[in-house]
Amino acid sequence: MEVELARVLGSLALEGEELGEAFVPEVAYDRVEEKYQFSLIVRVLMKRRFHIQTFKDTICTLWGGQEGIQILDIGMTLFQVIFNDDVQMNRVLQGEPWLFEGFSLLIQRWKVEMKED
């Protein structure tokens, strides 16, 4: 049984038009946009390695307050900080410039069409 299942699964492959770009329904974009509408993309402008948990703890203390925030690690020095509301997020944007261990933080409001550059 297991051998037959492995053989069948091994023979599955995309062909022709299936290999093209995937279709993503508009409703999926709407859900993502709603979930992350109060979020910022933050890049730590340093070339050396740093302790990621220390960064997250520091940012949570400075920006999270009692409401709390969520921080996603999306690259070596790139993070997405998700806030509960626009008041909390705008407080951070208006408080720029921000530093971590003496290095600048590049902060940009998240948009659904963003790509890592």
Q: Each residue of 73-113: pLDDT tens digit?
A: 998 899 999 999 999 999 999 998 999 999 999 999 998 77
Residue 44 has pLDDT above 90, yes or no: yes
Question: Whole-prediction pTM value?
Answer: 0.71
Task: Enumerate residues 6+ apart whose C-beta is below 8 A from 89.
Answer: 38, 39, 40, 83, 109
Q: Rounded mean pLDDT of 34-44?
A: 90
Gap between the Cα atoms of 98 and 84, Å rounded: 20
Q: Which of 1-15, 16-30, 41-55, 64-78 has maximum average pLDDT?
A: 41-55
CATH tag for 39-117 (out of 3.30.365.10, 3.40.190.10, 3.40.50.1000, 3.30.70.330): 3.30.70.330
- 50 burial level (CB within 10 Å; 0-12, 13-18, 19+): middle
Strands 103-109 and 78-82: unpaired
First-to-final CA distance of the chain: 47
Domain boundaries, the chain: 39-117
